[in-house]
Structure 1
Amino acid sequence: MSALIFDVDGTLADTETAHRDAFNAAFIDVGLDWYWSESLYAGLLDVAGGKERLLYYWKMIDPEEADGMKVGETIAEVHAIKTRHYEAIVSGGKLALRPGMLRLINEAHDAQMPMAIATTTTPVNVDALLRTTLGRDWRSLFVGVCDASVAIHKKPAPDVYLAALAALDFPASDCLAFEDSENGLRAACAAGIPTLVTPSAYTAGHQFNDALLVLPHLGDPDQLMHQHVPGADQRWVDLAALSRWHNGTLFESA
């Protein structure tokens, strides 16, 4: 195991509720009578990308209107307003990283293990979250920050993971990816990268058969997992445990 690659939304932090709130606020701002409930949004997350999600929903509720000439313009406007709402929510410090993520990133940084970001969310969204949780110099922690601006095709296509591999300059088999969704897992696996999945509340029902391991979160000494880490005495994940899993020591038990 030579490098780590992190998805952002749902993986580094439980961002999806903030995204949903931002979408609903944008709908109010532009005078749309739309409202995305938790259950509806959970289903919409199967569609990768905010603009794509808006178009999918529009076609679902009013396919004739969704084929209008100014649909693209309207979607761009709604998405821009939604992004501003999301940035305001996140910049207010209301979101923390999921258990174990900050500790693991710091441990990898101290061990001089290269890391990259592989997400198909927008650069603005990535910066809003990581600037708040990792500090203004967060980019210095990562060899590559691969987001929607570098991925032609979004997850489950492997484009963003292939970009991360190019930035890291390691073979896929030497890396470990962290994901929370089925689409993310499919993208990482399509790029040949072993993947650890920590589902979020919105993705708990997804299928993760191809994951190296599925855990509720990575745990921390003050926020323990409910189970012992496979192959270790503690109830949180560290680099040593990750390395053992990656090397195949626990493939059968996982």
Structure 2
Amino acid sequence: MKALIFDVDGTLAETEELHRQAFNRTFQDFGLDWHWSVDTYRDLLKTAGGKERLRVWRDRVGARVSDATITELHKEKTGHYGRLMSEAGVRLRPGIADLMDFARKNGLKRAIATTTNRPNVDALCLAAFGRPAQDLFDTIAAGDEVPAKKPAPDVYLLALERLEVAAGEAIAFEDSRIGVLSAKAAGLRVIAAPSLYTTSDRLDEADLTAPALSLELVREASAFFSGAFSG
């Protein structure tokens, strides 16, 4: 085993509620009579990517909002998210710090494969780790760098290419169905732990699922993963 590849939102930390609040603040700024409840946002998360969710919602409610405005909305929302993250802070999900430390001590590469954009990754890392993303991960593959977002495999394939490791030499960590499908389509083995917003997701395609991630969980799976984490 040579690498661990992490999803971001819902996997590294419970960030989706801050995203939802950032969207709603943006709608107010633009004078739109849109409001995403928790249940609405949970449903919209079945579509990967903020701009993509905005388009889905626009079409669902029949709003006359151009793609150019969608881009402006998303840019404003990214700013709100960064400010909310700075103000409220966020804690890593259980097990993440242990997994990151284990990878560092054992010479495993660490990567991000996410549908979100790079500014959101940086905001989370500064809030949760107190360090910029580039200091923590060997590579960061973000959704705005690939043609197709999850459940397409593109972002994982990009991460593997940059890491210069084969799919069979890495494990992906995910929290959602579309994330699991993306990683599996890229040929990766996947450990999934649902987040607060994905508790109803079917994660059958994951190689291993659990309520939360932990180093102990990965060690217990070492036999299944050909002893990758033994020792």
Question: TM class, shorter-chain normalised?
Answer: over 0.9
Q: Which residue of 2 aligns with 1:163?
A: 158
Q: Which structure exhibits the higher relative contact order, with contacts defined as CA atoms closer than 8 Å and separated by 6 or more residues?
A: 2
Q: Write the distance in 2 (CA, Å) between the matches of 1:244 and 1:108.
A: 18
Q: Which residue of 2 aligns with 1:132?
A: 127
After superposition, where does 1:224-239 map in structure 2 within 5 Å? Answer: 237=216
Change in 2 beyond 3 A, CA 1:242/1:115: farther
Q: For structure 1, list consecutive stretches of 5 or more residues without a partner in the other structure.
A: 220-235, 250-254
Query: 1:192 is aligned with what amino acid?
Result: G
8 A Cα contact 1:107 1:239, kept in partner: no
TM-score under structure 1 normalisation? Answer: 0.85
More off after superposition, 86-95 vs 172-181: 86-95
Query: 1:198 is aligned with what amino acid?
Result: A
Q: Which residue of 1 aligns with 2:108?
A: 113
Query: 1:39 is aligned with what amino acid?
Result: D
Q: Which residue of 2 aligns with 1:180?
A: 175
Deviation digits for residues 10-44 of structure 1 (CA, Å, limit 9, x no counterpart):
11111110000000011111111111000011100
Aligned CA RMSD, in angstroms, stands at: 1.8
Query: 2:83 is aligned with what amino acid?
Result: A
Q: Which residue of 1 aligns with 2:33?
A: 33
Q: Write the distance in 1 (CA, Å) between the matches of 2:151 and 2:116.
A: 13
Q: Does 2:121 match 1:142?
A: no
Q: Write the distance in 2 (CA, Å) between the matches of 1:192 and 1:25.
A: 39
Match of 1:237, SS state, is: helix
TM-score under structure 2 normalisation? Answer: 0.93
Report the CA distance between 1:94 and its aligned residue. 2.2
Aligned residues: 228
Report the CA distance between 1:139 and its aligned residue. 1.5
After superposition, where does 1:14-93 map in structure 2 within 5 Å? Answer: 14-62=14-62, 65-66=64-65, 71-93=66-88
Greater Cα radius of gyration, structure 1 or 2? 1
Q: Does 2:132 match 1:153?
A: no
8 A Cα contact 2:111 2:159, kept in partner: yes
Q: Does 2:122 match 1:122?
A: no
Q: Does 2:224 match 1:241?
A: no
Q: Which residue of 1 aligns with 2:7?
A: 7
Match of 1:92, SS state, is: helix
Q: For structure 2, list consecutive stretches of 5 or more residues without a partner in the other structure.
A: none
